[in-house]
Amino acid sequence: MINYLDIENNIVIIEGKYVDPSTTTHEQILYSKLAVLEFCGWIEESLDQILKDYLIPRVSAPNQTYVDKNIIKKNSGFEYERYTRRMFCSVLGIKNLEIVETTLNGYGGQITTLESMLSSYTTIRNNAAHNSTPVGTTLIFNAPSIVLSHFRSIKPIISDLETTVSCLP
């Protein structure tokens, strides 16, 4: 089961530090970067957890370990077409993935929204993860309040994804 509470609390804490009047501009950049990395880490962990939870009642422990080691842990990103869809297809099978995508798109185009959000945050996350932040830097990341807003908009989609996958045969 996905933990939605800790990530929201973490981003709220980061936002509090970000808006504190004693926080310097450089520290605000660091807090923004931290919020992005926390959020993206949560997305990756959540997608992995959905698949692990799917496997538990359906396949033997050795096959769960195999999938975790050779498919889930080898996945190195969350951009929808390139990583997420491929990983879900490998674990669920194409027919089940088709059911998931059809179901979620029936809920107001959730797959399209998820795909857009993952694509956007792939770029933001890579920029945050692959650049240092020396004093005087001009790197710009989403403010923690924006990250929190994006979390709150993707949370129901991830929840529906989790529910839909858990109902598969």
Would you kindly state where each structural domain of the chain is located, as residue ranges? Answer: 5-127+136-166
> Residue 139: what pLDDT?
73
Q: What value, to the nearest 5°, has the Cα angle with vertex 98 and ends 93 and 102?
A: 155
**Contact status, residue 26 vs residue 132, Cβ threshold 8 Å:** no
pLDDT for res 136? 75
Output the pLDDT for position 88.
Answer: 98
Please tell me the predicted confidence (pLDDT) of residue 134: 80
- Report residues of the chain scoring pLDDT below 50: none
What's the pLDDT score for residue 165?
98
Q: Please, which residues have CB within 8 angstroms of residue 41's CB and are 6 or more apart in sequence? A: none
Of the candidates 30, 127, 41, which has an alpha carbon nearest to the alpha carbon of residue 78? 41
Q: Which residues contact 105 (CB under 8 A, 6 or more apart)?
A: 111, 112
Q: Tell me what pLDDT residue 107 has.
A: 85
